Structure 1
Amino acid sequence: MKVNDAVTGVALLALAAVLLWHIQGFPEMPGQKFGPAWFPGLIAIGLGVCGARLVYAGARHRGPWMTLPGWTHGARPLAAVASVLGGLGFYIFAADTLGFHFTALLLMALWTRLMGASWRIVVPVTVLSPIVIHLAFYKL
């Protein structure tokens, strides 16, 4: 998805404004030249400058607010994206009951198959992924 630069620039300008407003309440540090608002203020100024440049660039090159890539017009890619979002919700509710390994096995099988992988790829990825994830997060 391609979002027009002007839209992104307006979002950055809004973020910079909120950040500048928020740091006004930061206390002064006695005996220090720069207080706790100094660094966030610099970040806000940088975001504002970048946002203004993006708004300027987006205004110069007029175009649609948002364009979708070609793959979004097919049913299979949209089903794959929906399955990832639905699968994450399923994981949240089912992992405590089914356990990590079985839930991950089901989701990896579904996701790799919907992404277009053959069964030759699906089976090893489905079996090995939960094991590798378990070793990486629980044993390291």
Structure 2
Amino acid sequence: MLLWHIQGFPEMPGQKFGPAWFPGLIAIGLGVCGARLVYAGARRRGPWMTLPEWAHGGRPLAAVASVLGGLGFYIIAADTLGFHFTALLLMALWTRLMGASWRIVVPVAVLAPIVIHLAFYKLLRIPLPWGVLERFAF
């Protein structure tokens, strides 16, 4: 589906690779990995689905729920709060749920959004929402 969608992306004059190149590469890689997983699963005998031992505890289920809830929170809050504050909150929550101490949580939560923003803004040239920081950004 992604490969079909990116066909409509416009060409960028003077660029060897257009905006569809990176998503297309990711889509092809995910498709190949998915096909290999299906093939390996079809060859395996036994039950179709079993939960690993770690999935029976409360902390792993809370971590999975926090990722799904965090993605929903990002969709709702990123335009208003901006990427930086939303990512800071989510990184703090997720690293804390993984059991990190506050000594680790604070630098990771502060530095990760900055590094991610620079990667998207400078390398990929993809703007992320500024939210409340928009008046300071420009």
* TM-based fold match above 0.5: yes
Distance in 1 (CA, whole Å) between partners of 2:6 and 2:64 is 38
The structure-2 alpha-carbon separation of the partners of 1:127 and 1:55, relative to structure 1 and needing over 3 Å to count, comes to: closer
Aligned-residue offset at 1:120:
1.4
Distance in 2 (CA, whole Å) between partners of 1:30 and 1:96 is 30
1:67-106 matches, within 5 Å, as 67-106=50-89
TM-score by length of 2: 0.57
In the other structure, the counterpart of 2:24 is: 41
The structure, 1 or 2, with the larger RCO (C-alpha pairs under 8 Å, 6+ apart) is 1
The structure with more radius of gyration: 1
Structure 1 residue ranges without an equivalent (≥5): 1-17
Structure 2 residue ranges without an equivalent (≥5): 123-137
Distance in 1 (CA, whole Å) between partners of 2:14 and 2:55 is 58
TM-score by length of 1: 0.57
Identity of aligned residues (%): 93
In the other structure, the counterpart of 1:9 is: none
The structure-2 alpha-carbon separation of the partners of 1:34 and 1:65, relative to structure 1 and needing over 3 Å to count, comes to: same
The structure-2 alpha-carbon separation of the partners of 1:58 and 1:123, relative to structure 1 and needing over 3 Å to count, comes to: closer
Count matched residues: 123
The structure-2 alpha-carbon separation of the partners of 1:63 and 1:99, relative to structure 1 and needing over 3 Å to count, comes to: same
Moved over 3 A (4+): 18-62
Aligned-residue offset at 1:65:
1.5
* Structural RMSD (CA): 8.0
Q: Judging by fraction of residues, say which structure has more helix.
A: 1
